Structure 1
Amino acid sequence: MKTTVILVNPKYSGNLGAIARTMMNFDTYDLRIVQNKLGEKPETILNDEAFIRAVHAKEILENAKFYKTLEEASYDIDYLVATTGAVSIGDKNIKRVPMTPRELAEKSISLKGNLAIVFGREDDGLRNEDVELCDLLVSIPTCSNYPIMNLSHAVSVILYELYSISIGNAIPYDTNVKEASKEDKDILLSIFNDFVDKSLIQEHKKPICKTIFKRVISRAFVSGREANSLMCVFKDKVIGSTKNNR
């Protein structure tokens, strides 16, 4: 499934650059901009600030397409998804229950064709007539004290969810960390106990230290490498204190 980002009348060039960057982060390259402000050339918003903020994603801005209306921008889209940051009551109430970005991502697995996420203006978002053109509505759960997100941040959250579910378990880095074996942990505890016995800690506190460390190791996910590193540290301390006592 191909994902497209459609921005309706964005106001700030810096946001466009940040959006291009996050799009490339999450393997999305089709950027479409609806720019129907009177007397303004569409390309005006793609200034130096936008390209500076895009860093290594300048090609997304260079290939961005401009349209006069949302209908024109979504001519080949199979599923059009509107975004909103304010699900309120009253005249501006959007008469549709929004889903979360994660729910959208889960739903996207079964979708075939082109999916476009539509983002509105930085100041007042999408108009109701824009939302009516869309098939689905998504909203990012945020704190009620400050519910409205920055436009580029909202794009990042939604694209992350879509990308994360699309790659499934194929995470692009090694997560296979070898856990320390029971033998490794037993050796570590033995060396630590030896370290405590030879330390200047008050005698009545030594059993407590040993017990606490054992509990920490039991609760924690300790890798084999971490266990070996701790063994070396405590062993060196024990050897060092033995030499100093000679």
Structure 2
Amino acid sequence: MTAAGDRAALVARLRAAGCVYAEDEAELLLAAADRPEALADLVDRRVAGQPLEHLLGWVEFGGTRVAVAPGVFVPRARSLLLVKAAVEVAGPEPAVAELCCGCGALSVLLVERLAPRFLAAVDVDPAAVACARRNLAGRGVPVFAGDLFDPLPEAWRGRLDLVVANAPYVPTDAVGLMPPEARLHEARVALDGGPDGLAVLRRVAAGAARWLAPGGHLVVEAGESQVPALSGALVDAGLEPTVLRDDDLDAVALTARRPT
């Protein structure tokens, strides 16, 4: 297969494999391959179901190219609502922590848009931590390996102005219904939110109540059907939730303020 002569055949093959944006994917794969053999390998792997972003090694997120690695959660466009919400609630030069950071895509945008006095990212998955460190190198953002708030310096407890977490919220029984690109090629820990999808988010809420400064905010993502239960969990943790929706992104986010 060559980039010039077989583009139509490439598009047809991608479309037959279920790639909705076959034309766009064909252009990206052609640009990524430096020789016919490399292109053939990329196409074979894409048709077999590997995520396009893992094959390319990057994803476009909020106008910025962010590196992703095999096995690492690929940030979705809907998570841009988290960035918008964070910018709206954050004050000047906030102290920020991103939990469940994955490849660090949210932190890449937040460090540019918030001018934080400090920002740190955390993930429990070693592959995600390595990828986030790659993306955040040179940006003054440390990436910690560990479970939620556990690896953060104890001196930060009660001093964070903003906590952002794109925590897993897919119910365990629904993970198997996800597209193969996600359930077979992204870390289970980045997807599975427990029986009702809110197990990790409840822990995030409880921790945020201790780690946020008075008046600070937690920003999280959830499914529409989970809003009532998650709002209740945030209230139970002593936080004051607000629900945000973006129809264009098909996204739901909640901000939750720690009372002063």
Same fold by TM-score greater than 0.5: no
Higher-strand-fraction structure: 2
Name the TM-score, length of structure 1 as normaliser. Answer: 0.33
Higher helix share: 1
| Larger relative contact order, structure 1 or 2 (CA cutoff 8 Å, min sep 6) | 1
Tell me the TM-score normalized by structure 2: 0.32
Query: Highest CA radius of gyration, 1 or 2?
Result: 1
